[in-house]
């Protein structure tokens, strides 16, 4: 069962309770006074509607339902320029147009621009219809045009200030990546992982990889971590002088033991390994060293 989401006052904060009687069908007499049918060609979508994309398939499903059952919840509109602008219900209006309806039920409210934008945002957030970028842009518009703080926006739509802040961080993405989120090619989880990178080119390159390889959010986070903290490359050992290598090989054969020559151009050292006193005396004999017997283990 879907979990109920805590919300703020929402639509009812901006539209009086009695207006919702018509929506809930709790008072038929009052509903008839508040709701009336309006010609669909007199209604315009809201230019400040935060939702920019509408799923064609879902609209067709809603249109089919409207054909069979009609519109169960009135649109909310406001009078503007010899017509009416949608405050809430653009998806229903689009589906009704597809269904061929000539008129739709509406509630008319003459609200200020700020309340209209808030209502449009609240409706979409409550229905979880907004893309993360659309939601972030809507919050930004409320802050820019109406001087609302992130905390005030959170109170109005029932979200914490931290949630508003995290969503608005998506506006820091490069335009190319933002468009991929808008087009639903990557999720908001992918986008938040990309925000950990500081290099825009890295963001865009990893975004393409997410799409091409269908990376999960977890896989994306791992790749981001590697980009931020690449493994240290071991320094390649300098190649040994071929002459020195040849001398080492010759000495190994002569003394029948491991030989290592190290050093720089003008000075260095030769190391010969031995594994017993007897082995040491053998090597010393080969070097021409006269052993006086002081190292003889038999004494």
Name the residue ranges covered by the structural domains of the chain: 11-172, 183-228, 242-286
Catalytically active residues are 90
Q: 275 φ, ψ to 5°?
A: -125, 5
- What would the pLDDT profile of 206-244 be if each residue is shown by its tens digit? 999 999 999 999 999 999 999 998 887 767 677 778 888
- What would the pLDDT profile of 104-127 be if each residue is shown by its tens digit? 999 888 887 777 777 776 766 665
Q: What fold characterizes domain 11-172?
A: 3.90.1530
Six token digits for residue 35: 């709701």
What integer is the mean pLDDT of 82-95? 88
Give kind and range of the element (H or E) at residue 102.
none
Q: C-alpha angle with apex 127: 49 to 167, nearest 5 degrees?
A: 70
Rounded CA-CA distance 136/202 in Å is: 23
- What would the pLDDT profile of 146-188 be if each residue is shown by its tens digit? 788 999 888 887 889 999 999 999 999 999 999 999 888 999 9
Q: Is the pTM of this model over 0.75?
A: no
Quick check: 175 and 144 in contact, CB under 8 A? no
């Amino acid at each position: 069962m879907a979990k109920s989401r805590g919300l703020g006052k929402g639509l009812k904060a901006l539209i009086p309770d009695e207006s919702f009687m018509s929506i809930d069908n709790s008072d038929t007499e009052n509903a008839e006074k508040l709701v009336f049918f309006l010609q669909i060609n007199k209604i315009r979508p809201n230019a400040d509607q935060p939702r920019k994309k509408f799923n064609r398939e879902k609209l067709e499903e809603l249109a089919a339902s409207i054909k069979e059952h009609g519109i169960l919840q009135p649109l909310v509109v406001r009078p503007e320029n010899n017509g009416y602008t949608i405050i809430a219900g653009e998806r229903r209006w689009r589906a009704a147009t597809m269904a061929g309806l000539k008129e739709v039920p509406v509630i008319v409210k003459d609200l200020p621009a700020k309340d209209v934008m808030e209502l449009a945002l609240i409706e979409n957030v409550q229905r979880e219809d907004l893309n993360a970028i659309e939601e972030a842009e809507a919050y930004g518009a409320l802050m820019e045009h109406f001087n609302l703080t992130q905390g005030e926006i959170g109170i109005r739509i029932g979200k914490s200030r931290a949630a508003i802040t995290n969503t608005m961080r998506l506006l820091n993405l490069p335009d190319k990546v933002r468009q991929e989120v808008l087009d639903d090619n990557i999720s908001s989880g992918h986008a938040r992982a990309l925000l950990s990178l500081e290099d825009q080119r890295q963001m865009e390159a990893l975004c393409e990889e997410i799409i091409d390889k269908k990376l999960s959010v977890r896989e994306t986070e791992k790749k981001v971590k590697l980009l931020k903290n690449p493994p240290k490359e071991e320094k390649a050992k300098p190649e040994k002088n071929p002459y020195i290598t040849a001398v080492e090989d010759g000495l190994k054969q002569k003394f029948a033991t491991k030989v290592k020559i190290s050093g720089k151009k003008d000075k260095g050292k030769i190391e010969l390994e031995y594994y017993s006193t007897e082995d040491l005396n053998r090597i010393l004999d080969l070097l021409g060293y006269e052993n006086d017997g002081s190292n003889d283990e038999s004494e």
